[in-house]
Structure 1
Amino acid sequence: MLQLSKEDLVKAYTQMRTIRDFEERVHEEFAGGGIPGFVHLYAGEEASAVGVCMNLNDKDNIASTHRGHGHCIAKGCDVKGMMQEIYGRRGGLCGGKGGSMHIADLSKGMMGANGIVGGGPPLICGAALSAKTLGTGGVAVAFVGDGGSNQGTTLESYNLAKVWNLPAIFVVEDNGYAESTASAWSVAGSQIKRAEAFGMEGYEVDGHDFFAVYEAARDVIAKARDGGGPSLLHVKLNRYFGHFEGDAMTYRGDGEVDALRESRDSLQIFRQRVSETGLLEAAEMDEIDRSVAGLVDEAVSESETAPPPTRDDLTTDVYVSY
């Protein structure tokens, strides 16, 4: 097993548990009518976001997708500010004006969730070019789904990143479905061969295994920082909920999600591996579970009573000013 410090293991498990509890609670609250707008949940994919983002710092940038809550948490965004944003409250990270699909926090290098499929890769080319030009040592990471990997913006970004030798990483989170269309049917060739076609290195990773993702991300991010150019990670994982909240998931087989939760749950895999090796005790992780549950409870409670944006608030940040 990849050797990490106990502090790192606690951080990894805390972030994965926070994503899981946050998403499952949003699922409940949305069903109860408390959350406006559209919601896409990341539960089941926690090891990918955390495994990648634990190799990053605040000078590094990420661009997310419509399924962005997990990436936000993994990049260090404030959980309560996120929940208020999803509730459309004034205290949200974007003042309650962005909602679930447009959460951003530039102070953490989180360039934003994005309702445009394949919208993130061009953005990180700009961020990576800025880091290269200014010599900050930063890298930029785009998370994109299997559906987004078919978009022209994504392929053009591969080309641009390679031509300019940018410190850019493309993380294709392949959860098996582009909305309701199986990626096995809709994605021709392989993600790795696509990377190779542009002269990039590409690696396939088990997205249920935090340690596998962390190690692969560590290597390509270090290479990018040293001027080695862009790389691609094809992370194969599964989501537990529908494409969006309200999706009946009739395209998935009977018992498919239950079987995944039982045998391929990233949190359970993590717990088992660190417990067996004595790196973390089960009691320590149980305490983390309780602490995270309390944090999520507080986030929901405060969001329910927080004020919405005022009319004046809604007319700010409409145009860029210099």
Structure 2
Amino acid sequence: MASRTQGAAEGVAGSAGGVATSELSGPAQHGLELYRKMLVVRRFEEAVQSLFQKGEVHGTTHLYIGEEAGAIGVGDVLGEHDRVAGTYRGHGHALGVGVDPQGLLDEMLGRETGVCGGRAGSMNVIDLEHRLIGSFGIIGGSISAATGAALALSRQGNGGVAVAFFGEGTTNHGYFHECLNFAAVLRLPVLFVCENNRYGEFTPFEDVTAGEIAARPQTLGIPTETIDGMDVWAVREAADAAVRRARAGEGPQFIQSMTYRFVGHSRSDPGKYRKPGELEEWKARDPLLVARARLAEAFGVDAGVVDGVDAAVEAQFEQIVARALAAPYPDPARDGAREFAPTTS
């Protein structure tokens, strides 16, 4: 697994893409790193999409393009004792907590060097080394997993907080109501992050959801905030405050992150159900564009420095894709698997 170790040094949690940023410090340097992390997620998802279209990625895929600020903003405030449960749209969640992009892409291609040895694929990645307790294809599975992890963390007393990412459609499922009630009763250290991208597969959330989503945790006494999920600084600020409260023993916290996916629900969805002009309106609030503007206006970061980060990440992913395609497949004999042998009568 040497490639995973090497990749981690170059991954989401690394330096600003090899760009000379010696003149930057403090908030400017941190802001540039937040931008780079989001860009890594974007380029990763674009690589997955391209490789899928070429037949290299099997099964289905659910891309996080447009929602990068959520995973990066939350992941940036987490510590070593925290745990994260992602969704089937979980590549960004994984990268946000520091999972090696090389090992993650190898996993997408079913290669031996993948974070799960090529056995998990797109929707079921686990990387306990980086605090990712799972990515869940079951709607609401992330909520129950994070709630259980929070129960364990509360007993360990190490200040750890569990985080559950989930979509707005999950708020109409039983997992949501049962787990939030359980967490509230026991005052568990868990942060529930509802990534409201406005559509449950092909259905606008307002067509199937009565009332306001934020009102649901509020009725249980859970502190709740609705934020701009396209702004990584807004996400980070809200997540930082929520995690601090949870660490301090103030019980579960809830964030509704208003965001938007720029692609279809999955590989087979062309997104024709969107209202005319809606996609273009949201793309004007692309998290990468928002971050570039903030870096220039608030921190005085030169556009050339940001362009250098872009170029470095592009070069990084050329290497990541090449390595993934060259990586070996698992050996069924060594892994203990058996070829299917039909029985004879």
2:319 aligned with 1:298: yes
Letter paired with 1:247: D
> 1 CA distance for matches of 2:179 and 2:301?
41
> 2 CA distance for matches of 1:150 and 1:315?
41
The equivalent of 2:8 in structure 1 is none
- Residue 201 (structure 1) shift: 1.0
- Residue 279 (structure 1) shift: 4.2
Gaps of 5+ in 2: 1-24, 338-345
> 2 CA distance for matches of 1:244 and 1:101?
11
The equivalent of 1:319 in structure 2 is none
2:280 aligned with 1:280: no
Aligned partner (choices 153, 158, 172) of residue 136 of structure 1: 158
Please give the secondary structure, in 2, of the residue aligned with 1:190.
Answer: coil
The equivalent of 1:16 in structure 2 is 38
> 2 CA distance for matches of 1:246 and 1:228?
43
Please give the secondary structure, in 1, of the residue aligned with 2:249.
Answer: coil
Aligned partner (choices 258, 270, 280) of residue 236 of structure 1: 258
- Residue 22 (structure 1) shift: 0.9
> 1 CA distance for matches of 2:205 and 2:26?
34
- Calculate the TM-score normalised by the size of structure 2: 0.88
Aligned partner (choices 200, 208, 214) of residue 178 of structure 1: 200
Change (3 A) 1:13 1:169: same
What whole-Å deviation, never above 9, does each CA across 1:20-72 have from its counterpart, x for those lacking one? 11111211221121211110000100111111111102321010000001111
Aligned partner (choices 268, 271, 286) of residue 289 of structure 2: 268
- Residue 4 (structure 1) shift: 6.0
> 1 CA distance for matches of 2:315 and 2:79?
26
> 1 CA distance for matches of 2:194 and 2:267?
22
- Calculate the TM-score normalised by the size of structure 1: 0.94
> 1 CA distance for matches of 2:26 and 2:291?
13
What are the within-5 Å matches in structure 2 for residues 148-187 of structure 1? 148-187=170-209
Over 6 Å off, 4+ runs: none
Please give the secondary structure, in 1, of the residue aligned with 2:123.
Answer: helix
Q: Is the 8 A contact 1:59 1:108 kept in 2?
A: no
Identity %: 37
What whole-Å deviation, never above 9, does each CA across 1:253-294 have from its counterpart, x for those lacking one? 344323322x11111011101101234222221111111112
The equivalent of 1:221 in structure 2 is 243
Aligned partner (choices 144, 149, 155) of residue 127 of structure 1: 149
The alignment of Structure 1 onto Structure 2 pairs a total of residues equal to 313
The equivalent of 2:331 in structure 1 is 310
2:52 aligned with 1:30: yes
What whole-Å deviation, never above 9, does each CA across 1:85-120 have from its counterpart, x for those lacking one? 000000000000000101111011111211111101
> 2 CA distance for matches of 1:12 and 1:58?
19
Please give the secondary structure, in 2, of the residue aligned with 1:34.
Answer: coil
> 1 CA distance for matches of 2:334 and 2:281?
46
Please give the secondary structure, in 2, of the residue aligned with 1:203.
Answer: strand
Q: What is the RMSD of the two structures over their aligned residues, measured on CA atoms?
A: 1.5
Q: Is the 8 A contact 1:97 1:314 kept in 2?
A: no
Gaps of 5+ in 1: 317-322
Change (3 A) 1:314 1:156: farther
What whole-Å deviation, never above 9, does each CA across 1:212-232 have from its counterpart, x for those lacking one? 111111111000001011011
What whole-Å deviation, never above 9, does each CA across 1:135-182 have from its counterpart, x for those lacking one? 111100000001112110121110111111111000000001000011
Change (3 A) 1:315 1:83: same
The equivalent of 2:229 in structure 1 is 207
Aligned partner (choices 65, 68, 73) of residue 90 of structure 2: 68
> 2 CA distance for matches of 1:259 and 1:199?
35
Letter paired with 2:28: K
